[in-house]
Amino acid sequence: MRTREQVLDAAAEEFAAHGYLGTTLLDVVKRTGMTKGALYGHFSSKEELAAALIEEAGGELSTRAARAGGPDAAAVQTLRQTVLDLAHHLHRDARARSALRLAVEAPHLDRHDPGLVERICLPLARAVAQTQAGHGGAGAQPPQAVARLLMSVFLGVPHPVPRDDADAARQFDALWATMCGLPKDERAPGPNQH
């Protein structure tokens, strides 16, 4: 078990620093000071190692995110505390940082549906809606958009990750319109609507 934990810690540091594509199993072996055989005794591939980090450290992140929300009077404070707790946890825990980065860069390795990023965003969006409702009705901004903005600002996660340039442009336009409070008919046209 100790060897497995050392491998996971070393892999987390590498993935957090260099991402999925920038990390090799040789990098992990060098960081641990072990032999390749010791690593392969626990993980047969980089994919398996990354999936294990998403599974194990991602579970802790989604559990922490699920704490968002609460009674109307305390909803904003609970949301605030949850976001700050997630940010603090990511700052001090390399496994959590690597799990989140891997979930963004290699979502196909996440064994859950919805994936880790969505499992964090959904409870935040519910908490935003609860907070807005506690302040006299629906807020001016869609809860999902506010949750995405919180994730981007505090957790460094672009969510959802744009598929291509056109998708990035649509996401920017939608977020900008949401934050400016523009009515739907005044929002910027899409790239094909000029």
Looking at the fold, whether 183 and 155 belong to one and the same domain comes out as no
Do 155 and 172 lie in one domain? The reply is no
Distances (CA, A) of 179 to 21, 32, 152: 34, 46, 14
Q: Does one domain contain both 131 and 191?
A: no
Distance CA 106, CA 30 (A): 23
- Number of independent structural domains in the chain: 2
Based on the fold, state whether residues 20 and 6 are members of the same structural domain.
yes
Report yes or no on whether pTM surpasses 0.75: yes
Looking at the fold, whether 111 and 178 belong to one and the same domain comes out as no
pLDDT along the chain (194 residues), means of 10: 92 95 95 90 94 95 85 76 93 95 93 92 90 68 85 79 79 75 53 44
- 72/18 same-domain check: yes
Radius of gyration of the chain, Cα coordinates, nearest whole angstrom: 19
Q: Which two tokens stand for residue 4?
A: 């497995």
What CATH number is associated with residue 15?
Answer: 1.10.357.10
* Domain of 176, in residue numbers: 162-194
Say whether both 118 and 176 belong to one domain.
no
Q: What span, in angstroms and rounded, lies between the C-alpha atoms of 126 and 107?
A: 23
Nearest C-alpha neighbor of 36 from the set 85, 3, 59: 3
